[in-house]
Amino acid sequence: MKRFLLYTFFLLTMTSLSCNLLMVAVRNVTTFFTPPDVVDVKVKNPIKPDVKLSALWIGHSTVLLQMDDKVIITDPFLTETVGEFARRVVDVGMDIENIPKCDLILISHSHFDHLSYGSLEYLEEKSKNAPLVFPKGLENYLPDFDFKFVRMDNNDGYKKKIIGETKLLNGIKVTTVYAQHWGGRYGLDGFVWGDHAYTGYILEYNGLTVYFAGDTGYDSLKFKQLGETFKIQLALIPIGPCADCENCGTQNHVFPPDAVYIFKDINAKWMVPIHYGTLMFAQADPMEPLFALKKIIAAGQLEDRIKILKIGEQMEFMKK
């Protein structure tokens, strides 16, 4: 009896420590017995001299952007697993050796699926000394790497303003902008201790403006303000994770309807949906958000503006 109580105490302690992590872990058990889906065609040379703006979806929130002669990667997740227990359901959309030297590496927040140490180790070889940009507070979750660490202000979670800070990095104007999410990496540090290290980004270079939303909830007023401040061409907006994807999202995550509202509020020319189809979250099937998004696209005749990419697919938006 005594032993039983002890083990129960131990189990309860561990469970309460990592309840959300446990749910994700349980949901991911099956992925460890099935290999990730293969990406049929992988782009070998993503940077083309005649292209002005392109996006290659590597999976989840990882997008390789070409803005004229600059290469930017967002929230690099290039490993097979994140957080040890979440395994990709689809292979990495690009062979790592074909990822070119990056001029900028953006990290939106410190959650496992957005800040992957193993992926940064892969990028270190080719992109040594590239600016690694992250919101204030995220340095607490970053070991040292051979990058130029650039910490940017985010107004403690955008309490007062929607603009954090602007810096010129490798010729690219980088601005941290509003996102509604939570920080931390190990559970309590974000939920209870109130870590605010999260952000979205606006990138401006040679007349091009790209918005990377990171992970965010919806606030109409804030996103309309963003649309009035920047003339955005391409927006990378999350659409999951969700189970009830035809409805509006939560405080922390937009679902397809409010992702499209963000797209309309910021008045961007094109949108590429991200943050789905790659990992088995606790909520639902990773492809669930796409079905809902397709319905919205069809109803709103947005096919020309919302570009759904397959993992590994590249879209050229502007030629030189």
Partner 1 sequence: MTIYCFSSSSQVKEENSFLKLSTWAILQAVPSPTYFEDRNTANSRLKFGFEWQMIPFSYSFNTNKYLSKVNFFYIKPSKRFSGSAECFFEPALILSDFKYAELKKFMFKTGVRIILPVAQKGEYLSISFGAGYYRQSGINEKIYDGITYEAALFSFFGMLGLKFNYNQNAISRYNIGVYIKYY
In the list 151, 169, 212, 236, the residue contacting partner 1 (rule: CB under 8 A) is 151
User: Does the protein bind partner 1 through residue 220 (CB under 8 A)?
Assistant: yes
CB of 177 to partner 1, least distance (A): 14
Rounded distance, CA 303 to CA 301, Å? 6
Residue of 47, 75, 83 lying closest to 59 (CA atoms): 75
User: Does the protein bind partner 1 through residue 15 (CB under 8 A)?
Assistant: no
In the list 57, 212, 261, 276, the residue contacting partner 1 (rule: CB under 8 A) is 261
Cis peptide before 238 (omega within 30 of 0): no
Q: Which is nearer to partner 1, 117 or 206 (CB)?
A: 117
Write out the binding residues for partner 1, residues 239-258 only, by CB under 8 A.
246-252, 257-258
Judged by DSSP in three states, 37 sits in strand
* Total Cβ atoms within 10 A of residue 203: 25
List the structure tokens of 99: 């990822």
Query: What is 226-260 written as a DSSP string?
Result: HHHH---SEEEEE--S-SSTTS---SS---HHHHH
Q: Which is nearer to partner 1, 68 or 122 (CB)?
A: 122
User: Does the protein bind partner 1 through residue 196 (CB under 8 A)?
Assistant: yes
If you ran DSSP here, which 8-state letter would residue 123 be given?
Answer: H
Burial of 224 (0-12, 13-18, 19+ CB in 10 A): middle
CB of 247 to partner 1, least distance (A): 7
In the list 193, 206, 228, 231, the residue contacting partner 1 (rule: CB under 8 A) is 193
Q: Which is nearer to partner 1, 284 or 318 (CB)?
A: 284
| Binding segment (CB under 8 A) for partner 1, from list 45-53, 139-147, 204-212, 229-237 | 139-147
Rounded distance, CA 250 to CA 217, Å? 6
Q: Which residues are registered as beta bridge partners of 65?
A: 55, 72
| Binding segment (CB under 8 A) for partner 1, from list 53-61, 62-70, 117-125, 278-286 | 117-125
Rounded distance, CA 210 to CA 259, Å? 16
Give the number of residues in contact with partner 1, rule: CB under 8 A. Answer: 59
List the structure tokens of 239: 């659409």
Q: Which is nearer to partner 1, 170 or 252 (CB)?
A: 252
- Residues that bind partner 1 in the complex, under the rule CB under 8 A: 2-3, 6, 10, 13-14, 17-18, 79, 83-84, 116-118, 121, 139-145, 149, 151, 156-159, 180, 182, 185-186, 188-189, 192-196, 217-222, 246-252, 257-258, 260-261, 296, 299-300
